[in-house]
Each structure stands twice: as C-alpha cells, then as structure tokens.
Amino acid sequence: ILQIGAVHFSLDTGEEYSHFCTSVSLKSCEDVKLQSTEETMEWLLKHSPQVLEASRKSEVTIFQALFRFNNFLRKAVRSNRYCLEEMGRLYASDMSELVVWGNGAVADNTWINSAYAACGMADRKPWTYKNDMCVRTLVRTADDILGRDFAKEERFQGTRHDALDDCRHQIRYMVKARNAMKALSEK
C-alpha cells in the first residue's frame, strides 16, 4: 500500500463532503510483511512513479495511516448521523453505518483489510464485512442491464493512480450507474 485515499460522499449525488489521503511508507508495509510482486513494482514504476516515490519518502507508517484513516471514517459516520438528525429523521443503526466502496471485489478493500490484519488491527477496522462494496461490480451490473459502460463514459480528471483522484473518478461513474439503474426500477 503506497497511498490511502478516501472520499465521504453522497451515494445519490456524488457530492463530496470530505476526503482523506496520505502517502504510506513502503518500508513500513514491508516491515509488517505486506507483500508485492516484482511485476507490481515494475508496473508502478512505469505508470505511477510519483506515487511510488512519495511512498519511498513518506515517514507515515502503515500503522499511522490506518489510525488516521479510522479517524476520518469515524468523523464521516458522525457527520451522517448529524445530517439525518438535522433532517428530522431518527436514524436506525444501519442508516448511518459505515459503507466502504472499493474498485474490485478482490482489490482495494481486500488490500486495506490485509493491512489491518498485518498490523494487528483487524478488530479496529470500523466497518463490517457486509459493508465492503464493489464499484466495479455495480458498474458492470449496470452495463449488463442498460448496455452502458459508465466507467468508459466518464473522463478522468486529475492524476491517474493517485488514490484520491481515482476515488473521485470512481464515485462519478458509479453514482451515474447507480442512478440509471434506480431510474429503470422506478418505471
């Protein structure tokens, strides 16, 4: 893990409420036995050298990054609860529960779960397995149903393979895909 990036956003509109991003010390990941392949490192050097270099220079350990990530996520949950209360809605626990979207059923969320486990922090992860969600699966389902590849329709903004820019890009097309399926179901 070279970087952790996340966005607290509206699932209906894609509006960004807050964000989190930190480079993570590559050495600290190696120290806790998180592994990468030579092929992955070559790919990073070719496609994302700035992220790799930032990770090599970062003094933020994977432990520190996960603690900071947890703080960001807890603030997002508190914000959700506050918004529901402001709207005059009593929230059931599942309405404000933390849901984490990653891009790929065996990618982002699996990698971050592995980091929690490697750091002995699996019990401190602030969401449950049932709230691990997959952007790629939702978008592929929308393509199967609607015949539209929302990911390909969305122009990338920012720097590719930067965790925060990737999050924002995935949110834009995922929200469009989700809303298109919702509209179809409302007919």
- State pLDDT tens for residues 116-160: 999 999 999 999 999 999 999 999 999 999 999 999 999 999 999
> Given a cut of 90, is residue 186 above it in pLDDT?
no
174-184, pLDDT tens digit by residue? 999 999 999 99
In this prediction, residue 97 carries a pLDDT of 78
Q: At what angle do helices 163-185 and 135-146 cross, to 10 degrees?
A: 40
CA 6 and chain centroid, separation: 5
In this prediction, residue 94 carries a pLDDT of 55
List of domains in the chain: 3-185 (3.30.420)
Reported for 10-13, long-range contacts at CB under 8 A and 24+ positions apart, including other chains, are: 10/175, 11/175, 11/178, 12/175, 12/179, 13/175
Compute φ and ψ for 123, nearest 5 degrees: -80, -5
pLDDT confidence bin for 107, thresholds 50/70/90? very high
What is the Cα–Cα distance from 74 to 81, expressed in whole angstroms?
11
Written as six digits, the tokens of 112 are: 């971050």
Locus of tokens 């995922």: 174
What is the Cα–Cα distance from 61 to 79, expressed in whole angstroms?
27
Nearest to 20 by CA among 87, 67, 59: 67
- The whole-chain average pLDDT of the chain stands at 93
Looking at residue 93, its amino acid is S
Find the mean pLDDT for residues 102-127: 95
For residue 128, give every residue at least 6 positions away whose Cβ sits within 8 Å of its Cβ, in sequence order, or none: 97
